[in-house]
């Protein structure tokens, strides 16, 4: 069955420290992988997707098909990065999004 | 891009009653999606609302409990019927919009602000 696993419910780091939010997926094929972010009192929004291979707000994520992982990384965390982060996958050509349980990132001053 | 609004933003309802949630999009879209986010849990797709046809429900969700209307290409409603405390959740509306300028033929998913429902 398709599944997205985010093992950490809460991740707390100091400002300036590197951060890595883990995501593993279970899917027999080549899904599209995404990271969504929800800042306090804001709606859920797309942060980045694996096919565009871009860095958004200093965050990057590399799809590792061998490990079926799509970890989100940032070398130097900022306080404004504090938010809820969701990893998600979609079947190619489809519109059904499967979300992970989410990781709350707290960046301390 | 797409801007999605939902009404109401929150409500407190008594068990056994029903609540209809409205979703309005500023662009015409073929499919609109309804999600549920129970406390402390992730988003779960309830159903896909297609204009001009019956909604498609995911496993564990049925039309009698969550009837959906889709009268036009910019609007949809989700009704939570015969509510119980287990229905206390945030309900979100979502659409996909084509990203025409990224050269990848990709879509971006947009979400409404959510409707926070508490059933007492």
| B34/A contact by beta carbon, under 8 A | no
| B48/A contact by beta carbon, under 8 A | yes
Q: How far apart are CA A49 and CA A13, in angstroms?
A: 24
CB B98 within 8 A of CB B30: no
Q: How far apart are CA A49 and CA B88, in angstroms?
A: 31
Q: Which of B96, B119, B117, B100 is nearest to B108 (CA)?
A: B96
Q: Which two tokens stand for residue B16?
A: 């056994």
Contacting residues for A59 by C-beta, under 8 A, at least 6 apart? A35, A47, A48, A72, A73, A74
Nearest-Cα distance to chain A for B43, in Å, is 6
DSSP B74: T
Asked whether the beta carbons of residue A95 and residue B48 sit closer than 8 angstroms, the reply is: yes
Q: Which residue of B has its CA nearest to A51?
A: B104
Question: pLDDT by residue for chain A (109 residues), tens digit each?
Answer: 789 999 999 999 999 999 999 999 998 788 899 999 999 999 999 999 888 778 889 999 989 989 999 999 999 999 999 999 999 999 877 888 999 999 999 999 9
The pLDDT tens digits of the residues spanning B70-98 come to 999 999 999 999 999 999 999 999 999 88
Cis peptide before B8 (omega within 30 of 0): yes
């Amino acid at each position: 069955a398709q599944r997205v696993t985010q093992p950490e419910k809460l991740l707390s780091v100091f400002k300036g420290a590197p951060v890595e939010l883990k995501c593993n997926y279970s899917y027999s094929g080549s899904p599209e992988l995404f990271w969504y972010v929800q800042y306090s009192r804001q709606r859920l929004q797309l942060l980045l997707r694996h096919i565009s291979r871009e860095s958004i707000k200093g965050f990057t994520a590399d799809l590792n098909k061998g490990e079926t992982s799509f970890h989100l990384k940032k070398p130097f965390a900022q306080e404004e990065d504090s938010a809820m982060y969701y990893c998600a996958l979609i079947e190619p050509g489809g519109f059904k999004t499967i979300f992970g349980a989410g990781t709350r990132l707290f960046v301390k001053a | 891009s797409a801007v999605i609004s939902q009404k109401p933003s929150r409500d407190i309802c008594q068990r056994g009653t029903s609540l209809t949630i409205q979703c309005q999009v500023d662009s015409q879209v073929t499919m609109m999606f309804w999600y549920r986010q129970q406390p402390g849990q992730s988003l779960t797709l309830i159903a896909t609302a297609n204009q001009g046809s019956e909604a498609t429900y995911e496993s564990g969700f049925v039309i009698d409990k969550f009837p959906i209307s889709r009268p036009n290409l910019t609007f949809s409603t989700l009704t939570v019927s015969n509510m119980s405390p287990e229905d206390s959740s945030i309900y979100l509306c979502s659409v996909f919009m084509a990203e025409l300028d990224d050269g990848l033929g990709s879509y971006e998913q947009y979400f409404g602000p959510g409707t926070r429902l508490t059933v007492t």
